[in-house]
Homo-oligomer: A and B are copies of this chain.
Amino acid sequence: MNTFDAIKARTSYRGKYKNTHVPKEDLAKIMEAGLAAPSGCNTQTTSLIAVDDPDVMAKLRAVIEPDFMVSAPTMICVLTQYIKSYRDRCFSVQDYSAAIENMLIAIVDLGYQSCWVEGQITDADALGRKMADILGVPEDYELICFLPVGVADEPIRFPKKKEFSERAWFNGFRK
């Protein structure tokens, strides 16, 4: 796909997924796109685990409550390490967000749908930690997001967004 088409085609899909197989090569390609994102002072704080083993998927699905977006046959889990980079500051949130956005675009480009699931697993109930334990992720990594990956089984919807002129200007605020 053309870059701009893929960027505009990306949306947060929250419907059911088909059981269509997602080849490992596609998951690797999506993860490569994620790792190509920049990171503060090149600290590379983001790591990724793609899950396509049905047994592991079943264990992960069992801890994700309510069971939102778990009908996808595969998912990519996003891990971060909170490492200081520039002037004693940590840019890990920026790093993993850029990696996630690259992957979301790559996912759409390959004909799949996904959704950035972060808030629901990093809350007080710490579902992310439960998922991390299943995957053997050590304590110095945090599992902060997962991206379902699969073929949509329901219509793709786009949320209503503000007009361009309400959010983007030239040479001055609201100009």
Contacts and interface: CB of A to CB of B under 8 A. Distances in A.
Given A38-B104, A50-B171, A136-B174, 20 more contacts: A3-B3, A3-B105, A3-B109, A7-B102, A7-B105, A12-B38, A27-B170, A32-B168, A40-B118, A42-B159, A44-B167, A48-B169, A49-B170, A53-B170, A87-B119, A93-B94, A94-B97, A97-B97, A101-B102, A138-B173
Chain copies in complex: 2
A15 B100 CA distance: 27
Contacts of A38: 10-12, 101, 104, 116
Contacts of A56: 171-172
Interface in A95-130: 97-98, 100-102, 104-106, 109, 116, 118-120, 123
A51 B171 contact: yes
A68 interface: no
Question: Which 6 A-B residue pairs are closest in the complex by CB-CB distance?
Answer: A97-B97, A86-B119, A98-B101, A31-B168, A3-B6, A136-B173
A12 B48 CA distance: 22
Interface of A is mostly: mixed
Interface in A118-175: 118-120, 123, 135-138, 141, 159, 161-162, 164, 167-175
Nearest to A171: B53
A79 B37 CA distance: 21
Given A35-B161, A161-B44, A171-B51, A123 B87 contact: yes
A33 B5 CA distance: 10
Contacts of A51: 170-171
